[in-house]
Amino acid sequence: MTNTWRRGAAHPEPAPERRATISDIAAAAGVSKPTVSRVLNQRGDVAPATRRKVEQVAAELGYVPSTGARALRTGRHGALGLLLPSEPWGGLVDIVYGVSEEAAARAMHVMVFPLPAGRAAERQFTTRTLPHLPVDGLVALMPDDMVPHQGIIPLSGAPVVAFDDRGTRPGIPYVETTNREGVREAVGHLVAHGYRRIAFASGTSGLAFAEARYEGYLDGLRDAGLPHVPQRVLRSEDDMPSDDEIRELLTAEEPDGPPDAVVAGWDEIATAVGHVVHELGLRLGADIGLIGFDDRPEIALMIKGLTTVHQPLREMGQTAVRLLLEIIEHGPGPANATVPTHLVVRDTCGPHAADGTPLPPEKS
Amino acid sequence: MTNTWRRGAAHPEPAPERRATISDIAAAAGVSKPTVSRVLNQRGDVAPATRRKVEQVAAELGYVPSTGARALRTGRHGALGLLLPSEPWGGLVDIVYGVSEEAAARAMHVMVFPLPAGRAAERQFTTRTLPHLPVDGLVALMPDDMVPHQGIIPLSGAPVVAFDDRGTRPGIPYVETTNREGVREAVGHLVAHGYRRIAFASGTSGLAFAEARYEGYLDGLRDAGLPHVPQRVLRSEDDMPSDDEIRELLTAEEPDGPPDAVVAGWDEIATAVGHVVHELGLRLGADIGLIGFDDRPEIALMIKGLTTVHQPLREMGQTAVRLLLEIIEHGPGPANATVPTHLVVRDTCGPHAADGTPLPPEKS
DNA sequence: TTGTACGCGTTATCAT
DNA sequence: ATGATAACGCGTACAA
């Protein structure tokens, strides 16, 4: 538990005499400071010759603008904040990368702020830290337990965009995905492949995204004119349904037989379903169809080729930044954005005869 | 593929008249600016009465310091940079959280910079963006393909700490973990449980951390006086060994029989081994022992209770920040830091008779 | 098209 | 223990 600290090789001295300023450039180029400033900020009213000269001198001097001075003068920081839930989750990486990517493309930096765990620490964060953040705007992944707080919006007046489908906060623009339509499409896909007794397995019922996916399941049944059989719906209060619950779902004795396909609320649940299917001696994609949601890459390790609804976290991150920048630059003309899911067809929903007889697999 | 943008509810106006400055506080409290500054920066030489008065006024006015002005004046940004590989990976979240956690505890912010993918973009990043970063220091997760670049060190003179065990860069302090000792301990654990024909399965041979773990395997064999049997070592050049390679490893016909245990280079490989073990009709933790490396939580979904070597990514992130701050504050007295792994014993290495007969499981 | 003069909010120096 | 003053580097009126 104790760390070992060792002496290492010496840190090479970068020897930065003193960073060059626009005054230095002005002097060296024989012009005035404002002219240098104009050149550096790409403003039009500069003679081409002067421009070239200044640019050359700036490069020679290795000029790097002082973000501090610029922030002081302009009141903008050139940075966005990304508020993260206290609990890490694999998908966060994609969001972080999407946000960073788009921010970088707009010459903005990204600061990350995992919310401290615990009621007290969280409160202290929102009151003490949030208002001070040196950012021009905030992308907030608001966890459920933050909902009560109204203090989300930084006192600094920086605009906020919510990245959230666990329940929406009124008055805050947000980015969402097509949870409902995605599942609806998944059900349609199963139907098109011959599955008829389609079950739904999910958890954390009550949260907005889980509800939306359930609605999508119902939509899908309706689209196909299939009956809604309550015994084919598993909506656990917990994060994950237990293996027992899944077993019960898969072996539910209905007049027309047990489920021949399952749509899972998200990939981890699909994994669990896959295990139980295996246990029962059934073959995924033949005897039983299975579709997940999220398309998390790490899932590939558990289920060979899970057909799943891709949730575009990375694109959602990019979109959140675009939305936020729009608000920052053109004022609060707030809009929401929806980034569509799409179905990724792999191996777990092969063709299937409506009478329950598995068809020979088609080539993928 | 197209996004839908909708009008949403109006953004509530935070109505920030004008942010209060220390001048405002000074005027309202009837003192001078420097005094206010002294109070706000917790400096000792202030009369208790004045201090209280100033603090009260500051609170009333909702004072928030201008990070821009402070940065301009002090030359410090109150922020650390975190340089990330271009390719996302689940473990990154833990690192990000560890770094953020420790930084927050030291009143520092964290900026993340995923390296852009592609040779050209990467080069542009190191030459164009890196030197401009408004940070006081940098924690760098240097990916393999960045090794050639010597431009890692920002021109700004900000110190760098490497978070890396894929090959060390000379002259840069770094944080590492006990890859070698961790595997050595794992082998010892297997031996203590009766396993004798211990195999090693890994990938990406050549990279420092993979080499270190292999050395640890050899150490472990030596410790126990066990022979090094080449047929029990699988070191793929790829990221992951294939199922075929693993099958071959598990069924290698040696005089004393096939392997009765496997140490995997990391958890994903352990998962693959687990699949093949299952395929062969063997029972994990009884017929065959298995130990992984990393202790990634998402692995729990694939293998019930994988015994594994915990790599403390979060602590390593914290340590990197401490190391970096040490250098920032007390100059380049560079040290490296090693954060120890520890073995997490779960279910995949139950007791085992040395002759190959599985023993009845002990209670965990 | 270019230059002069000033101020952004903070901290450091020096004096009192 | 406190106050006056200057300076950090940049952008922007305004004047030329």
Do A249 and A200 touch, CB atoms closer than 8 A? no
For A74-111, write each residue's pLDDT tens digit. Answer: 999 999 999 998 889 889 999 999 999 999 999 999 99
- The answer to whether some atom of strand D lies closer than 7 Å to the beta carbon of B48 is no
In the numeric block, the tokens 């990517």 are attached to A101
For A166-196, write each residue's pLDDT tens digit. Answer: 556 667 888 999 999 999 999 999 999 999 9
For B185-195, write each residue's pLDDT tens digit. Answer: 999 999 999 99
How far apart CA B68 and CA A72 sit, in angstroms, is 5
How far apart CA B5 and CA B7 sit, in angstroms, is 7
For A32-47, write each residue's pLDDT tens digit. Answer: 999 999 999 988 788 9
How far apart CA A150 and CA B354 sit, in angstroms, is 63
pLDDT in the model for residue A180: 96
Helix axes A91-105, A313-330, angle to 10 degrees: 40
In the numeric block, the tokens 């006024």 are attached to B57
Interface contact flag, A88 B71, Cβ < 8 Å: no
Tokens of A33: 């400071």
Chain B residues with beta carbon closer than 8 angstroms to that of A268: 301
Backbone angles phi, psi at B21, to 5 degrees: -115, 175
Name the closest residue (CA) to the C1' of nucleotide D3: B32
Q: How confident is the model at residue A11 (pLDDT cuts 50, 70, 90)?
A: very low
pTM for the full predicted model: 0.89
Do B18 and B32 touch, CB atoms closer than 8 A? no
Chain A residues with beta carbon closer than 8 angstroms to that of B143: none
Which residue of B lies nearest to A267 if distances are taken between CA atoms?
B301
pLDDT in the model for residue B226: 97
CA contacts within 13 A on the Cβ side of A352: 28
How far apart CA B162 and CA B177 sit, in angstroms, is 12
pLDDT in the model for residue A342: 97
Chain A residues with beta carbon closer than 8 angstroms to that of B96: 92, 96, 112, 114
In the numeric block, the tokens 């396993």 are attached to B195
**Which of residues B220 and A208 earns the better pLDDT score?**
B220
For A228-240, write each residue's pLDDT tens digit. Answer: 999 999 999 888 8
Mean pLDDT of A297-313: 88
**Which of residues B51 and A353 earns the better pLDDT score?**
B51
Q: What is the pLDDT along chain B (364 residues), one digit of tens a residue?
A: 333 333 333 333 344 457 899 999 999 999 999 999 999 998 878 899 999 999 999 999 989 899 999 999 999 999 999 999 888 888 999 999 999 999 999 999 999 999 998 888 888 888 788 878 899 999 998 755 454 444 455 556 788 898 876 555 667 888 999 999 999 999 999 999 999 999 999 997 678 889 999 999 999 999 999 999 999 999 998 888 999 999 999 998 889 999 999 999 999 999 999 989 988 999 998 899 999 999 998 888 777 789 999 999 999 999 999 999 999 888 777 678 999 999 999 988 877 755 555 444 443 3
**CB neighbours of residue A215 within 10 Å:** 15
Q: How confident is the model at residue A354 (pLDDT cuts 50, 70, 90)?
A: low
Interface contact flag, B340 A3, Cβ < 8 Å: yes
Using CA atoms in the order B171, B173, B178, B181, what is the torsion angle rounded to 10 degrees? 40
**CB neighbours of residue A41 within 10 Å:** 9
Q: How confident is the model at residue A353 (pLDDT cuts 50, 70, 90)?
A: low
**Pairing of the two strands B289-294 and B307-310:** parallel
Mean pLDDT of A215-231: 97
Closest CA to B221 of B185, B266, B247: B185
Helix, strand, or coil (residue A141): coil
How far apart CA A198 and CA A200 sit, in angstroms, is 7
Backbone angles phi, psi at A345, to 5 degrees: -85, 120
Q: How confident is the model at residue A198 (pLDDT cuts 50, 70, 90)?
A: very high
**For a pLDDT cut of 90, what percent of chain B falls above it?**
59
Q: Which nucleotide has its C1' atom closest to residue B26's CA?
A: D3
pLDDT in the model for residue A2: 34
pLDDT in the model for residue B129: 84
How far apart CA B121 and CA B85 sit, in angstroms, is 13
Burial class of residue B149 in the structure, from the number of CB atoms within 10 Å of its CB (0-12 exposed, 13-18 middle, 19+ buried): middle
Q: How confident is the model at residue A7 (pLDDT cuts 50, 70, 90)?
A: very low
> Which residues surround strand C, with CB < 7 Å?
A 30-35, 38, 45-47, 49-51, 69, 72-73; B 18-19, 21-23, 33-34, 37, 40-41, 63, 65-66, 69-70, 72-74
How far apart CA A250 and CA A271 sit, in angstroms, is 14
**For a pLDDT cut of 70, what percent of chain A falls above it?**
86
How far apart CA B142 and CA B150 sit, in angstroms, is 12
For A329-352, write each residue's pLDDT tens digit. Answer: 887 776 789 999 999 999 888 777
**For a pLDDT cut of 90, what percent of chain A falls above it?**
59
How far apart CA A98 and CA A312 sit, in angstroms, is 10
**Which of residues B129 and A150 earns the better pLDDT score?**
B129
